[in-house]
Chain A
Amino acid sequence: MWCALYLCCLLIVGCGAAKCLVRSRSWIEWAGWVLCLGPGVTGLCLVALSILGWRPSRLAILLLAAFFAVVAVVVRRTRSQESAPPAPPAAAPPPKWWTALCLIAIAYGIFVVALDTLVYPTIEWDAFAIWQLKSKVLASQPLWPRPAYFSNIALSFSHLRYPVLAPMISAGVHAMVGRIDDELEKAPFLLFYLGLGAAVYAAIQSRRGTTAALSATALLMTTPLMLNYAGSGTAEMALTAFYGCSIIFILRWQERQQISDLIAASLLSALMIWTKNEGYALAAINVLAILLLTPHPLRRRHLLAALACALLIAALSVPWIWYAHPLPRTDENYMDRLRVGLMLANLRRLPLILGSLLTEAIRPDHWCIFWFLLPAAAILNRRRPTQRPVVTLWILLAAQLLAYVPPFLVVDLWKNVKELLDVTTGRLLLHATPTAALLIGLQWPQLPRPAADRPAPMVH
């Protein structure tokens, strides 16, 4: 019961945050933002309180939810609703059987992720050794004064310097339930899975129609590795959801130039940094995308927008950088080793790294043909005029995959780089699945709507 109440609190916080930041064009889009922002903003607030000396507690969570509920009500009364967008031109609705099959696939995904998060205990190695161990630490003690855990090198296997947002979201479960609960600690990650699906669906549906949206969402939510990691209790699902939503807001910024979209993208980028170290690279890519991929990148307004985005991300991230700086550096220290000289000296690893990424992408037990559909959709879409969102997504996907290469060039502590590649490339590609799903959806071949069903042209 307390866990259910905690999930409701996360949704209330998400409502408040989404009301402040964005205007949604459909209820599914709205649900996506609420489900992804709720746990993220709650986690960040609990981290802030913890750094100030208060460990997560039931009272703090309820007060947070109450605060954001008031915010949601106040903003609702003072802001008008955004009108629904026009339907995509000449997009045929999907056949009923296609819709049914897609919904069955999505329903299966929700079922197994719900089983993993709500019924089964934490059994994934990284989940219990790293993320959920940290959640117990954070539930037991505030971040200030620094708990002994963070300087205990016998616990270095849990990556003492990894960011703490995902564990703090789980720590909220422990706090709400009133005890350390090994089975329910993963419950909030179900919201990320649902939210990512809703956000990707809405983003494609508004641009390409329901068939493309349903199909791409069903593909995204049923890839084997997504089903494996979504409810496992690691931070992968959180990072994937934050990144997916951030690039949707970047696409919105490109189309509408609304400051609210920029703020949302910046907040999500900061949440990525608080979630995993890969977040630094992804946030940097987002800032560059905002700077360079807008319609008029050199206009003063857009330069200032990119600068404001970078400053907001930095402001939200600095507390973690400050907190983590003195912690023991007993595991991989990519940041200090990312030097051009070192990368050039290890360039001979490049074929191995690229080969591993490619081998991973074609693994049928991890991806089926998900990554094959990407070039297939591009080929089928080749005759359509170039679209800015599609080009942006291709650039973001390429940038993300390239950004993951330098750490493997400079890694030192692993005896065998191949061993590290084997255990990490799957998860790195998982982070890129929202971008790929959006690309598949936005390049989905469209059957024209029968002439009798098309709306009549306006006559002036």
Chain B
Amino acid sequence: MLGSAAVAIGLDVHKRFVIHQFKQRQLGCAQTDAMLRKASQGRGLFLRFSGQFRGTWKNFPCGAYYRAVYLLYPLPVLVGEPSQLINPHDGAEQIRQAANFDPDGAWLLRHGVPRELSYCYSDSGNITVTMQAAAPAPAPQ
């Protein structure tokens, strides 16, 4: 019994204070949070994901979307049409399919997400991040 408790505590100490697993996750979340807040600037946000997220980045689009919704609530966060179903068991695939959706500035403004944050995954494994404000459609001549 003592051995079990000692090993349990040892594993936890190793995870938290030696390899800093929790700290790394916190830093990762903090970086993502900072990016999301900077992109949002207090307004609704549209997330774009392009490229084939693979390997350790496979679930990144899901995680970023869920994190954005949580962090920025009650501001709206969209990855596609508001009626786009994103459910827990298929979220990654649904977000990947939503990548084909390319709304213009007028659509973004109409749906309350005037800010955009784009994550582009390249074949070399790098992620390029761009943020911009939605431009309204030019007035007809």
Contacts and interface: CB of A to CB of B under 8 A. Distances in A.
A218 B5 contact: yes
Interface in A100-118: 101-102, 105, 108, 112
A246 interface: no
Residue from B62, B79, B89 with most neighbouring chain A CB atoms (10 Å) = B89
Interface residues of B, number: 40
Contacts of B71: 128, 182
A156 B87 contact: yes
B123 interface: no
Contacts of B5: 101-102, 105, 218-219, 222, 368
B91 interface: yes
Contact of A101 (B2, B26, B73): B2
A129 B70 contact: yes
A332 B89 contact: yes
A132 B4 contact: no
Contact of A364 (B7, B63, B90): B7
B12 interface: yes
Given A112-B16, A154-B84, A224-B8, A133 B70 contact: yes
Nearest to B28: A123
Interface in A380-406: none
Interface in B68-92: 69-71, 73-74, 78-80, 82-91
Interface in B1-18: 1-9, 11-12, 16
A219 B90 contact: no
B34 interface: no
Contacts of A219: 1, 4-5
Nearest to A122: B70
Given A123-B29, A369-B3, A227 B8 contact: yes
A112 to B, nearest CB: 6
Contacts of B86: 153-157
B57 interface: no
Nearest to B65: A157
A222 B87 contact: no
B22 interface: yes
Contacts of A332: 89
A362 B88 CA distance: 28
Contacts of B8: 222-224, 227, 368, 370
A413 interface: yes
B89 A414 contact: yes
Nearest to B67: A128
A174 to B, nearest CB: 11
Interface residues of A, number: 48
B85 A153 contact: yes
B101 interface: no
B66 A156 contact: no
B25 interface: yes
Nearest to B23: A120
A155 B69 contact: yes
Interface in A132-149: 132-133, 136-137, 140
A159 interface: yes
B7 A368 contact: yes
A373 B89 CA distance: 35
B12 A227 contact: yes
A407 interface: no
Residue from B80, B85, B87 with most neighbouring chain A CB atoms (10 Å) = B87
Contact of B87 (A128, A331, A370): A331
Nearest to B30: A121
Nearest to B11: A224
B54 to A, nearest CB: 18
Contacts of B83: 153-154
Contacts of B1: 215, 218-219, 373
B4 A370 contact: yes
Nearest to A416: B89
Contacts of A121: 26, 29-30
B12 A123 contact: no
A2 interface: no
Interface string A77-108: 00000000000000000000010011001001
A158 B29 CA distance: 18
Contacts of A136: 70, 73-74
Contacts of A156: 85-88
Residue from A98, A368, A413, A415 with most neighbouring chain B CB atoms (10 Å) = A368
Interface of A: 98, 101-102, 105, 108, 112, 120-123, 125, 128-129, 132-133, 136-137, 140, 152-159, 180, 182, 215, 218-219, 222-224, 227, 330-332, 364-365, 368-370, 373, 413-415, 420
17 contacts: A112-B12, A121-B26, A122-B70, A129-B67, A132-B70, A133-B70, A155-B86, A156-B85, A157-B62, A158-B69, A218-B5, A222-B9, A223-B8, A224-B12, A370-B8, A413-B87, A413-B89
Interface of B: 1-9, 11-12, 16, 22, 25-26, 29-30, 62-63, 65-67, 69-71, 73-74, 78-80, 82-91
Given A157-B87, A224-B8, A365-B11, 17 more contacts: A121-B30, A128-B66, A153-B83, A153-B84, A153-B85, A154-B83, A180-B73, A218-B5, A219-B1, A222-B8, A222-B12, A331-B87, A364-B7, A368-B4, A368-B7, A369-B3, A370-B8
